Amino acid sequence: MSASLAMPSYREDRPLWEEEGRDWPHRGASRFVTASGLSWHVQAMGPETAPVLLLVHGTGAATHSWRGLMPSLAERFRVIAPDLPGHGFTDPLPDRRLSLPGMAGALTDLVRTLGCDPAVVVGHSAGAAILVRACLDGGLAPRLLVALNGALKPFPGMAGLVFPGMARMLFLNPVTPRIFAWSADRAAVERLIRGTGSRLDAQGLDLYRRLFRKPGHIAGALGMMANWNLDALDRDIVGLRLRTLLLVGGEDRAILPETAFAVRDRLPDGRVELLRGLGHLAHEEAPERVANAILHEAMAVRVLPPEDPPD
């Protein structure tokens, strides 16, 4: 894709910190930071002297996605988790930067503004693609990258042509985000989550519903997908010269598990770990299990001393 699409204005319909964020998970760890021309919602947790671990959520989510995982990782790391542009409580990117490289560049600007140097980066779904792009472009230089059900390859066959085009059409229709928001009752959200192969508790469903009822958040998610181009990432990923752990939910229906094995075969230093019985939102379903996998890998690359992680 040679140019990005203009984002409709939904700033007045974005989630409000005083309302949707009134009882946000780990609200005490939140702050707002100006970087790359945007106001970002960022959460930070864990000892300030510990190695930094950066968490990047996927399309349509926000920092709430890490509510179970962050405390476990924060026992050993200084954990930083932002809302991506256009998601949650972070401003949207302008249209000229609404692309995978643009998103990666904005995230790099945020990390530099925070003055941190992540030793480990963890991304879920599209968040993994953003991190890979940032590492390939030289914006981030961690010792370990963890992709949780990473969206790292284009959709196969006709889906690769149809899905991006459909996202573009939905994004450019100013009514679409409002229709999505109006229909986002709890039953609809639960069907959507179950369609990914995951099952969440009542709190998890409510947090997604809270965001999906805001057209500005829906517009942010659609805008990112509409301007997504994974072909270049798929071509360049052979140059990712750092340890990469691909954590894969065995029941993932959004990104087929075998995709991770195809990615692994093109990485200089990558391995796959299958999480049986978990879906696309594996880190929300079984946060301790995912935390242990990350901690073990961090010890393997000596970011952490070799000792047993907490049970």
Pick the more confident residue, 227 or 234: 234
Domains of the chain (ranges, CATH numbers): 11-300 (3.40.50.1820)
Mean pLDDT for the chain overall:
88
CA angle 240, 244, 250 (to 5 degrees): 130
Site of tokens 């021309």: 37
pLDDT band at 222 (very low <50, low <70, confident <90, very high): confident
Q: List the helix and strand counts (H, then E) for the chain.
A: 12, 8
pLDDT, tens only, 177-195: 554 565 667 788 898 899 9
Instruction: Report which of 292, 68, 246 is spatially closest to residue 151, judged by C-alpha positions.
Output: 246
Q: What pLDDT does 156 receive?
A: 52
pLDDT band at 30 (very low <50, low <70, confident <90, very high): very high
pLDDT, average across residues 29-55: 98
Instruction: Report which of 150, 86, 85, 90 is spatially closest to residue 123, judged by C-alpha positions.
Output: 150
Q: What pLDDT does 155 receive?
A: 62
Site of tokens 């926000």: 62
3-state SS string for 213-258: CCHHHHHHHHHHHHCCCHHHHHHHHHHCCCEEEEEEECCCCCCCCH
Cα–Cα distance between 34 and 152 in angstroms, integer?
29
Q: What percent of the chain has pLDDT over 90?
A: 73
Three-state SS at 56: strand
Rounded to whole angstroms, the maximal C-alpha distance in the chain is 54
Per residue in 153-182, is it b (16+ CB within 10 Å) or e — as a string? bbeeeeeeeeebeebbebbeeeebbbebbe
| Res. 8: pLDDT tops 80 | no
pLDDT, tens only, 89-102: 999 998 788 889 99
Amino acid at 188: A
pLDDT band at 160 (very low <50, low <70, confident <90, very high): very low
Q: Are 200 and 67 in contact (CB under 8 A)?
A: no
pLDDT band at 287 (very low <50, low <70, confident <90, very high): very high
| Res. 289: pLDDT tops 70 | yes
Instruction: Report which of 91, 117, 101, 118 is spatially closest to residue 36, judged by C-alpha positions.
Output: 91
* Model pTM score: 0.90
| Res. 201: pLDDT tops 60 | yes
Q: What pLDDT does 96 receive?
A: 80
Per residue in 267-283, is it b (16+ CB within 10 Å) or e — as a string? beebebeebeebbbbbb
pLDDT, average across residues 242-255: 96
pLDDT band at 65 (very low <50, low <70, confident <90, very high): very high
pLDDT band at 308 (very low <50, low <70, confident <90, very high): low
| Res. 32: pLDDT tops 50 | yes
pLDDT, average across residues 258-275: 96
Residue 245 pairs in a beta bridge with 146, 271
Q: Are 128 and 245 in contact (CB under 8 A)?
A: no
For residue 43, count other CB atoms closer than 10 A to its CB: 24
* 50: Cα within 13 Å, side-chain hemisphere: 19
